[in-house]
Amino acid sequence: MKENSLKEVGQWPWSREKVAELVAALFEREQISLLGMDTVFAEAEGDVLAQRWQRHQTRHPQLANIPPPPSGDEVFADTLKRYPVVMGYYFQTRKAAGDPDSSGGLPSPVSMTNPPAQLQQIAWPQPERYTGNLKLLQQAAAGGGFFDNPMVDDDGVFRRVPLLQRWQDGWYPSLPLAMFHQLLGQPAITAEIVQGGGQAQLEALDVGGFRIPVDGHGAVLVPYFGQRGHFDYIPAADVLAGRVKAGRLNGAVAILGSSAPGLLDLRATPVQSVYPGPEINLSVLAGLLQQNFRSAPPWVFGAEFMALLSLGLVMTWLYPKLSALPLFSGSLVLLAAWVGGNLWAWQQGWLLPLASGLVLLIGLMLLHLLFNLWRESREKSWVTQCFGQYVPPELVEDMMDKPEALGLEGEERELTVLFSDVRGFTSFSEKIPPAQLTTVMNRLLSPLTRAIHDHRGTIDKYMGDAIMAFWGAPLRDTDHARHALEGAFAMQKALHDINREFTAEGLPALAMGIGLNSGPMNVGNMGSNFRMAYTVLGDNVNLGSRIEGLTKPYGVSILVSETTAALVPDWSYRQVDKVRVKGRSQPVWILEPLGPSNSLTATQQQQLQQHQAALQAYHQGQFAEAQHIFAALYEQDSHNKLAAIYLERAQHYLSTPPAADWDGVWTHTEK
C-alpha cells in the first residue's frame, strides 16, 4: 500500500471485506494470473456486522432463526478459494523468552524427492516458531510462503535469502519460490547434493526442470535490478476505484505489499539503504522466472586460493625491484584485471570473490610503497653519509633526484681530474706551533674544498696540504672539464683571500700549483674488505698528477692537458710545452688556461699572439727567431719564467743544434 491509498481508503489494516474486494478486482477486472501476499493475516477480525445482527435479533425475536451474515474472514476466505493466491507468513529463527508459541496455520510443505536422511545432512535454516495466517484463510489459499530472512548479514543488509526453511520434518518455501512453484503446477523439488571431503554439499534446487543454484544453506543471492521502482507500483486505491489503465496488468504476476514508510516494511539492501520489502521478493521471483541467479561455482574456493597465492608470490618477487611509479602503475593494472575478471565472471553467472583480491593487492601495494619510502630514505641517508664529505650538498640532492645517473660500481667514464699542491708548506708549517697546525690546515683546506664543491666537483682525498678531486662522477656531467677549470680558478682566488689573512697575521703567503687532465678513467668504490673509498684510477689520473708537478718548473699556477683544453674551446690558453712525463712514453701538450676568450684584455691578447709565434718558431727549429721574440716578452715582464726557459733552450740549440729527428718534445725525468 502506498501513502495515497492509506489516505483514500483508510489506515491499515483494512477490513477483510475490503481486502477481498481488492483481490477480486485484481483477478476479475485487471486479469492478473497470480497474486502473492507480502503480509500476514494472523488474527481474526472483530465482526461489527455480526454483533449488530445479534442486537437486531434481540429486538426482533421473529428473526431469531435467520443466520447472521458471513464474517469478514469468511468473505475473504471465500474469495481466496476462487483465485490463485499465495499467502505470506513468517518464521522466527530464535524464540526469545516471553514470545508466544507458534500461531496460525501453515501451508503444506513442498514435496522433496530426496531421501529424508540425505536432506537432513544439509544446514537448512531451522526456525523455532512461526506466525501464520488464520487457518481459515491459509486453507482457502492456493499456497503459502515465508517472507522473513534469517540470513541478513551482520551489517543489516539483505544480500541473500533462503528459498527453503526446515520446520519439523517438512521443507517450506519462501514467498517467491512458492509463487514460482504455483506457476509450474506445484512439481516435486529435488535438491542437488554432492559429496565432497566426506560431507554433503548442497549446490542447487531443481524445480520442475528449472535448476536454481543455491549456497550450502539453500539461499540465493538476490538479483537486484537496481534501485526501488524497477517494478510497476500500482496503488491499491486505483485498483479498487477502477483507475488502472485497461490491460496494464493483464496476465501479470503481482505481490500485494506495502511501500509506505509508516508500515515499516522497508529494508537495507546493497542498491539502496531504504528499500521496500515486497520488491526484494519480486526481485527473487524475477530471478526465478528469468533464471539469472549468480552463484559461486564449486571450484571457487580453490581458484581463489591459487589466484591469491600466485598474485602474492608475483608481487612479493617483483615489487621490491620496482620504484614507486612503476609499482603503483603495475598495481593499478592488476586491480583493473582483478575487477575486470570479476565483472566478466558475473556476466557468465558466476559469483567470484572480489574483496579478498582487492585487499591483497592494495595491502601489498601500500606495504611495498612504504618499504620503497623507507628504502629510499635509507639510501638517501647512506648516500649523504658516503658522499657528503666529498661532494656539495646540492649534488647529493641531485643524486637522490636522479638515481639512474648514480653509479657506484667500477666503470670507465670520461672525467676530469684535478691535483693541487701548496708550495713551500713544509717551511710554512715550521713557523707555526704544532698545536695550531690543525687549525691552519682547516683554514686552508676549507675554502679550497668549498671552491671545488661550488663547481660540482668531488673530493677524492686530502694528502697533507694537497687535494685530489674529479668531475663527472658520481653524477654524470657533460661539462666536467669546464666546471673543473672554473673550480681551479676559484681555488686560486680562495688562496689569494687566505694569503691576505696570513700576511696580516705575520705569516708568509702561500703559492699553489694545480694540474688538470681529462680522459677515460675508472671510477667507483675501491679498496679492501676493511675500508672502501670512492676514487678514480687510470693512466689519465697519473697524467693529471704529473701535470700538477710541472706547474712549479714552468712558473705557472695552473696547467691543463690538451684534452682538457679541447673540451673547453671558448677559453684562451697559452701553450706551455710538449712534454713526455715520467712513466709515460706518449708526449702531450700542456697549456696554461688564461680564462674565457672574451675576458682577455688587448695587452693579454697581444702577448698571447707573440708567445704563440715564438713557440711556433721554436718547434720549427727557427731558434734565432724564437730567441728574439721570447727576449721581447721577457723584457715586457721579467717575471715571465716561461719566456726565460725558452730563451735558455733557444740559446742552447743555437750553440748545439738538435738531431735531425728532433720533435720538440721535452722529456721530464722527475715527477
- Percent of all residues in the chain with a pLDDT value above 90, rounded to a whole number: 42
Please indicate whether residue 474 or residue 404 has the higher confidence score (pLDDT). Answer: 474
Please indicate whether residue 387 or residue 489 has the higher confidence score (pLDDT). Answer: 489
Structural domain range at position 203: 3-290
Domain boundary, last residue among 239, 267, 290: 290
Q: CA-CA distance, 255 to 271, in Å (whole number)?
A: 21
445-464: average pLDDT? 92
Reduce the secondary structure of 307-322 to three states and give it as a string: HHHHHHHHHHHHHHHC
Q: How confident is the model at residue 262 (pLDDT cuts 50, 70, 90)?
A: very low
Q: How confident is the model at residue 492 (pLDDT cuts 50, 70, 90)?
A: very high
**Residue whose grid cell is 477490513:** 15
What tens digit of pLDDT does each residue of 533-587 get?
778 999 999 999 999 999 999 999 999 999 999 999 999 999 999 999 988 889 9
Do both 556 and 569 map to the same domain?
Answer: yes
Query: Residue 456, by phi and psi: left (phi above 0), alpha (psi -120 to 50) or beta?
Result: left
330-343: average pLDDT? 81
Do both 324 and 427 map to the same domain?
Answer: no
Is 309's pLDDT higher than 90? Answer: no
**Residue whose grid cell is 722529456:** 667
In a domain? residue 172: yes
Q: How many domains does the chain have?
A: 4
Do both 96 and 160 map to the same domain?
Answer: yes
Buried (b) or exposed (e) across 470-495, using 16+ Cβ within 10 A?
bbbbbbebebbbbbbbbbbbbbbebb
Query: What is the per-residue pLDDT for 95?
Result: 78
Buried (b) or exposed (e) across 350-370, using 16+ Cβ within 10 A?
bbbeeeebeebbeebbeebbe
User: Residues near 305 by Cβ (< 8 Å), separated by ≥ 6?
Assistant: none
Most confident listed range (186-190, 243-247, 356-360, 584-588) = 186-190
CB-based burial of residue 303 (10 Å sphere; 0-12 exposed, 13-18 middle, 19+ buried)? middle
Give 18-33 as a DSSP string: HHHHHHHHHHHTS--S
Is 275's pLDDT higher than 80? Answer: no
295, 221 in Cβ contact below 8 A?
Answer: yes
376-380: average pLDDT? 70
Q: 7-21, 213-227, 485-499: lowest mean pLDDT where?
A: 7-21
Domain boundary, last residue among 290, 313, 339: 290
In a domain? residue 399: no
Do both 516 and 634 map to the same domain?
Answer: no
Take residue 349 and report the three cell numbers written for it. 553467472
Dmax of the chain from CA atoms?
175
Is 390's pLDDT higher than 60? Answer: no
Domain boundary, last residue among 245, 269, 290: 290
Q: CA-CA distance, 328 to 362, in Å (whole number)?
A: 10
In a domain? residue 388: no
88, 146 in Cβ contact below 8 A?
Answer: yes
252-260: average pLDDT? 81
Cis peptide upstream of residue 13 (ω within 30 degrees of 0): yes
Do both 583 and 461 map to the same domain?
Answer: yes
pTM of model > 0.75: no
What tens digit of pLDDT does each residue of 116-136 get?
889 999 999 999 999 999 999
Is 287's pLDDT higher than 80? Answer: yes
Q: Say how many residues make up the chain.
A: 671
Do both 369 and 444 map to the same domain?
Answer: no
Do both 223 and 209 map to the same domain?
Answer: yes
Do both 475 and 497 map to the same domain?
Answer: yes
**Residue whose grid cell is 528449472:** 210
Q: 46-50, 201-205, 262-266, 300-304: lowest mean pLDDT where?
A: 262-266
- Percent of all residues in the chain with a pLDDT value above 70, rounded to a whole number: 84
Query: What is the per-residue pLDDT for 399?
Result: 57
Query: What is the per-residue pLDDT for 401?
Result: 62
Helix (H, G, I), strand (E, B) or coil at 564: helix
Take residue 262 and report the three cell numbers written for it. 509508516
Query: What is the per-residue pLDDT for 153?
Result: 79
Take residue 550 and report the three cell numbers written for it. 710541472
Is 385's pLDDT higher than 80? Answer: no
Is 391's pLDDT higher than 70? Answer: no
Closest CA relative to residue 487, chosen from 527, 516, 526: 516
CA 527 to chain centre: 41
In a domain? residue 580: yes
Most confident listed range (16-20, 224-228, 414-418) = 414-418
Decide the pairing of beta strands 170-173 and 189-196: unpaired
Q: CA-CA distance, 626 to 160, in Å (whole number)?
A: 107
Do both 235 and 165 map to the same domain?
Answer: yes
Closest CA relative to residue 188, chosen from 124, 121, 114, 253: 114
Q: CA-CA distance, 249 to 232, in Å (whole number)?
A: 10
CATH code where residue 435 lies: 3.30.70.1230
Mean pLDDT of all residues in the chain? Answer: 84
Q: How confident is the model at residue 12 (pLDDT cuts 50, 70, 90)?
A: low
**Residue 86 amino acid letter:** V
Query: What is the per-residue pLDDT for 244?
Result: 86
Q: How confident is the model at residue 420 (pLDDT cuts 50, 70, 90)?
A: very high
Do both 74 and 172 map to the same domain?
Answer: yes
Is 204's pLDDT higher than 80? Answer: yes
What tens digit of pLDDT does each residue of 27-77 get?
999 999 999 998 899 888 765 555 665 666 566 666 566 665 667 888 899
In a domain? residue 12: yes
Do both 109 and 213 map to the same domain?
Answer: yes
Q: What is the chain's alpha carbon radius of gyration, rounded to the nearest angstrom?
A: 51
Q: 205-214, 407-416, 443-452, 578-587: lowest mean pLDDT where?
A: 407-416
Query: What is the per-residue pLDDT for 653?
Result: 92
* Sign of the dihedral defined by the CA atoms of residues 635, 639, 640, 646, in that order: positive
Closest CA relative to residue 422, chosen from 512, 544, 516, 553: 512
CA 487 to chain centre: 44
Please indicate whether residue 137 or residue 427 has the higher confidence score (pLDDT). Answer: 137
In a domain? residue 390: no
Query: What is the per-residue pLDDT for 51?
Result: 60
CB-based burial of residue 447 (10 Å sphere; 0-12 exposed, 13-18 middle, 19+ buried)? middle
Q: How confident is the model at residue 3 (pLDDT cuts 50, 70, 90)?
A: low
In a domain? residue 671: no
Which contacts of 392-395 are long-range, i.e. CB under 8 A and separated by 24 or more positions? 392/453, 392/454, 392/456, 395/453, 395/456, 395/458, 395/475
Do both 427 and 470 map to the same domain?
Answer: yes
Q: How confident is the model at residue 109 (pLDDT cuts 50, 70, 90)?
A: very high
505, 401 in Cβ contact below 8 A?
Answer: no
Q: CA-CA distance, 503 to 501, in Å (whole number)?
A: 6
